[in-house]
Amino acid sequence: MIPIAAILTAGTLAQSQEPAPAWAYPVNPPGFKLPLDDGSLRKVPNSNGALTLSQVRDLFYAPDWHPNDHPKLPTVVATGRKPDVMACGYCHRADGPGGPESANLAGLPEAYIKQQIADFKSGARKSSVMNRAPMSLKMRLVGAATDAEIAEAAAYFASIKPRSIMKIVESDTAPKTYVTGWFLAADKTAGTEPLGDRIIEVPDDLERFVSRDARATFIAYVPVGSIQKGRELAASTDGAKTVQCGTCHGADLKGVGQVPGFAGRSPSYIVRQLFNFKHGARAGQASAQMKSATEKLTLNDIIALAAYSASLTP
């Protein structure tokens, strides 16, 4: 089992004219330490499973609390291959919904998933915060994974029907948060604060999320009016800000053919990807179209598009 404490503290901002929004790329603060495992067994609702904290932190093990929710896990998803191919289901969960810190792979086209791995491997796809731990883990994995392992994982995640795990709330305020394990968590003792020009996305039940329960759900606080603004931007035809999103991704943003859908997915993740495209950090397949579609967007525009798309049914 590989300890993740050192990896959890990684994070260096890339240089760009527009700073990456820290709330979308949370990095653990200096001196961050994981809580110690006291040996007690963790459980989640509607599951007969029981795991220790060390087990749910094991990079070569995907906690499968609800095995009847999905087909049999391929080995590369369930346990990976030591020493460098971590279990895909560790970050993306057993049936692919991921979390604010990682991609939701459920239902993405098989060829698209394989292409993204190829882009990571070639270095074409990067991040505006390159040394953030999820990216470090991804780059390590793709450098060691075989074509057969990649194909098996892609076919599996593509076969999973995406489901709604996100509640979008327009609000002027949001819970005060802290960073833990690459994501934001609500500080239930600290009250609320003005939301401003941010999206604050937190797990509904932190312990379920820490246990890597694939049924964990999330709430995202978005600026008032952002959903409608995003709807208008997504439908734009005048080219002043962007192109009509549905032209490639479908009228309902659920994807068309090998073009991925992003309806109902993490708004934090969507913000990161739009920002990465805009600033050239993500330069793989179709990046030219996405660069053109994002280069005129302000951060507020990106927030609005993420809020709108995340509010849709996947």
Nearest residue to 307 via CA among 277, 246, 240, 262: 262
- pLDDT of residue 11 exceeding 50: no
- Domain with residue 104: its CATH number is 1.10.760.10
Are the beta carbons of 62 and 34 closer than 8 angstroms? no
CA distance 201 to 311: 13
pLDDT of residue 10: 41
In terms of domains, do 136 and 232 share one? no
CA distance 246 to 260: 11
| Structure tokens belonging to residue 111 | 């060829």
Confidence of residue 7 (pLDDT cuts 50, 70, 90): very low
Q: Write down which residue in 128, 158, 188 finishes a domain.
A: 158
In terms of domains, do 145 and 198 share one? no
In terms of domains, do 144 and 179 share one? no
CA distance 283 to 73: 31
Single pTM value for the model: 0.93
In terms of domains, do 9 and 154 share one? yes
pLDDT 10s digits, 131-145: 788 888 888 899 999
CA distance 136 to 120: 11
In terms of domains, do 292 and 187 share one? yes
How many folded domains does the chain comprise? 2
In terms of domains, do 170 and 153 share one? no
Q: What range defines the domain where residue 76 resides?
A: 5-158
Per the document, the length of the chain is 314
**Least confident piece of the model among 96-100, 134-138, 164-168, 287-291:** 134-138
In terms of domains, do 233 and 298 share one? yes
In terms of domains, do 83 and 152 share one? yes
Cis peptide before 83 (omega within 30 of 0): yes
pLDDT 10s digits, 180-231: 988 999 999 999 999 999 999 999 999 999 999 999 999 999 999 999 999 9
- How many other CB atoms are found less than 10 A from the CB of residue 72? 10
In terms of domains, do 107 and 183 share one? no
**Least confident piece of the model among 12-16, 34-38, 77-81, 205-209:** 12-16
